[in-house]
Structure 1
Amino acid sequence: MFTIALQQQQYKTYILSDESAGSQVEVVPERGGIITRWRIQGQEIFYLDAERFTHPDLSVRGGNPILFPICGNLPDNAYSHNGQQYTLKQHGFARDLPWEVSEQQTQGKASLTLVLNSNEQTKAVYPFDFQLVFTYELQGNTLSIRQQYKNLSSTSLPFSAGFHPYFLTGGDKTQLEFHIPSQQYQDQKTKEIHAFDGNFDFNRDEIDVAFGDLTSQSATVTDSSRKLKLTLDYDPIYSKLVFWTLKGKDFYCLEPWTAPRNALNTDENLTVLAPGNELLTTFRLTANFF
């Protein structure tokens, strides 16, 4: 049985449930359309800094933030378009703006559709008309995010998009086993390229690396301390997987990005939609306890 409940917490929170599987997802539309929690049999899949979440002026650290119209940051937070310079902060604005709920469904799955439209606030930093339609679907132990990016401008729409999921760990990150379909990564700070043998040095204060040249549309992380295997499935439009974690924090992020940092300036893997066109794509997460 699938249900959707609405709770008034600090924000209106939609709770999608698959009661037979014991799985639940919590969505907060007005806080960047974010999924804040995902539980299976009472076990949290996502990490959430709940204290930080109560401060609307701080970015959310946890759940599954939405990245649009850029992933990562731009040098000096700046890019140029048609000879004019604009300022756009890290990961864009979609994760900070309120989204509208447009549809709910509980037949065969629990499904919630959210919409974000361009407005005067977005056009001040990103001079385009667009519409994003995201549908969160919960079925069993799988969470799917169907995305529709529409260009409503009379000119081409350039963007990159992605997600920034924070996965809760059992505390000992050396118990994590990674299967990422790439043989090397780039350190996002030093820009150095390193071969990847499946291991990270978790003694470092911060790890921030990007995997490119992906050889498949699936990656897995097994956390032996939690007896949890996570599978990420993503469409070919996602050209990068970014891994990020901080020492002493019980999370890691494995983030599908359609393009690397600064793509709005370099055009590398940038998606460009012609006027009136749209992009449809899906990102799927599956969690299995063993």
Structure 2
Amino acid sequence: MYTIDRFEQEMFTMYQLKHPTGNSWITVCPERGGIITGYGTNNEERLYLNEATLFDRKKNVRGGIPVLFPISGQLEDKQYQWDGKHYDMPNHGLARIHPWEVLETYSDEDHAFISVLFRSSLSTKAVYPFDFKVIFTYTLRGDQLLIHQSYENLSAIPMPIYPGLHPYFKSDKKVVGLDIPTKTYYDYNDEEEKAFTGQIDLNNLKEAVRLENTHTQVKATIDHQSINMEMDDAFHYTVLWTEQDQHFVCVEPWTRKNGEMNKQENLIEVPAHDTFDTWVSFQII
């Protein structure tokens, strides 16, 4: 039987979903942006987490799997215009800096899941002028982590989004091999398109690089682990990023490119009173 443990850590309530053998698990902190803080397989923690940033509400969490909504990436001067008005938007949006609510937990012999909710408020509407409900369901089945995402537009007008995820995988190495049939990648460090030869060396790179997903399966090899990502076809890009003095590499599924709220050329627009559903799964070998 899968189990779900609820416990207090510092000032937060944590939830841990665990396989019957105890060899795989996911840990979730709903109050800190609905974030997954831990994902274990084969009795080994796979995610990097800087706990000091988790427990300091004034800081962005470095680690786990932050949720990127309504945007992935950055905007010019952290600003955008919509319907003739100017708005300020933090990097990677709002979801990761607001508390989420727990809707449901469930476990049986086959799997366990937790559903968490982020809803619009007066404070979010000052930054992003839409009414919404976002529900993430994190499911552990075997050693697979499935993240189902539901973006509901409660407004009377279409709602622009381009969400993503920001997983921090533990790694002492900065070279990432990618099984992805694309011939080029975009380097944000010098803003150039470059030839892709099967791996990306992130050593000495401050900014991220972006690869286009030509199908819905991406296999990344970092250090001794193979990360298999499967995703809905809404996720058009894989973004790689690291910090040179830290023991992680981020392999991030994004739906759209950086800065789309400035360009407004390739947004996902959720119709009024409608829902956009999508998903990503991870499995580490």
- Indicate how the Cα distance of structure 1 residues 250 and 57 shifts in structure 2: closer, same or farther if over 3 A, else same: same
Contact 1:188-1:208 within 8 A present in 2 as well = yes
Distance 2:252 2:207 in 1: 13
Task: For 1:134-153, list aligned pairs within 5 A.
Answer: 134-153=136-155
SS class of match (1:64): coil
- Indicate how the Cα distance of structure 1 residues 65 and 231 shifts in structure 2: closer, same or farther if over 3 A, else same: same
Amino acid across the alignment from 1:236: D
Task: For 1:1-290, list aligned pairs within 5 A.
Answer: 1-10=1-10, 11-20=12-21, 22-107=23-108, 108-169=110-171, 171-174=172-175, 176-212=176-212, 214-223=213-222, 225-226=223-224, 228-288=225-285
SS class of match (2:123): helix
Q: Which runs of 5+ in 1 are unaligned?
A: none
Distance 1:111 1:64 in 2: 16
Q: Answer with 126-135 or 21-30: which moved more.
A: 21-30
TM-score (norm 2): 0.95
Distance 1:208 1:235 in 2: 23
Distance 2:209 2:190 in 1: 10
Distance 1:159 1:34 in 2: 19
Q: Answer with 93-102 or 50-59: which moved more.
A: 50-59
Amino acid across the alignment from 1:30: E
SS class of match (1:146): strand
Amino acid across the alignment from 1:7: F
Q: Answer with 149-158 or 183-192: which moved more.
A: 183-192
Contact 1:239-1:269 within 8 A present in 2 as well = no
CA offsets 1:99-150 (integer angstroms, 9 cap, x no match) = 0000111022110000111000100000000110110000111000001111
Moved over 6 A (4+): none
Amino acid across the alignment from 2:232: D
Shift of the alpha carbon at 1:248? 2.7
TM-score (norm 1): 0.93
Distance 2:21 2:53 in 1: 33
Shift of the alpha carbon at 1:172? 3.0
Q: Which runs of 5+ in 2 are unaligned?
A: none
Give me the identity figure in percent: 36
Distance 1:201 1:22 in 2: 31
Amino acid across the alignment from 1:59: N
Shift of the alpha carbon at 1:81? 1.1
CA offsets 1:129-184 (integer angstroms, 9 cap, x no match) = 01101100001110000011111001110111000000001x2334x432234221
Distance 2:203 2:120 in 1: 42
Shift of the alpha carbon at 1:82? 1.2
Number of matched residues?
283
Structural RMSD (CA):
1.4
Amino acid across the alignment from 2:182: S
